[in-house]
Amino acid sequence: MPEILLVEDNPDTVEFLVRRLNDRGYEVRIARNGIEALHAIEDIVPAAVILDINLPLMNGDDVCRKMRQNPRTAQVPVIFVTAESEDRVRDLLDPDRTICLEKAIKVKSLVSALHTLGIKPDSDSSEEPEADLKR
């Protein structure tokens, strides 16, 4: 089961995404701010990171920059999730390992992004009804 790091400070979003991703065969670890994210990434080197841009203590774009500077985590795929323009992270976008999605989060789009990055559960159950989070 691929382990995904979800970096998000909104508890409703965390609960929603963890449930939906678990249902689709992903194991999800949570970090609620940028500093926790960096510690978790060092701990587990996840299959992918779902990263909110606006976070407490350290923004998501800074987390990604630090990941890219570390040889151990430089190749970990990142899915940015933002309500802002992707201009803020344009210099970090790399089609082989970085995708930017806009909020409101659509689970189908998130799972599709994981698949595009090559992160698929052992048994794919992503054909469940579409759901999204309106935040």
Question: For residue 91, what pLDDT is reported?
Answer: 58
25-56 pLDDT per residue, tens: 999 999 999 999 999 998 999 999 999 988 99
pTM for this predicted structure? 0.85
Q: Domain limits of the chain?
A: 3-116
In CATH terms, the superfamily for domain 3-116 is Response regulator (3.40.50.2300)
Structure tokens at 109: 């789009």
3: left (phi over 0), alpha (psi -120 to 50) or beta: beta
Average pLDDT over residues 104-111: 92
Q: What is the pLDDT of residue 129?
A: 45
pLDDT of residue 61: 86
Label residue 123 by pLDDT band (50, 70, 90): low
Whether 63 and 92 have beta carbons less than 8 Å apart is answered as no
Query: Please, what is the Cα angle at 132 between 22 and 83, to 5 degrees?
Result: 110
DSSP reduced 3-state for 52: strand
Task: Pick the closest to residue 44 from 16, 72, 22 (CA basis).
Answer: 72
The reported pLDDT for the residue numbered 104 is 84
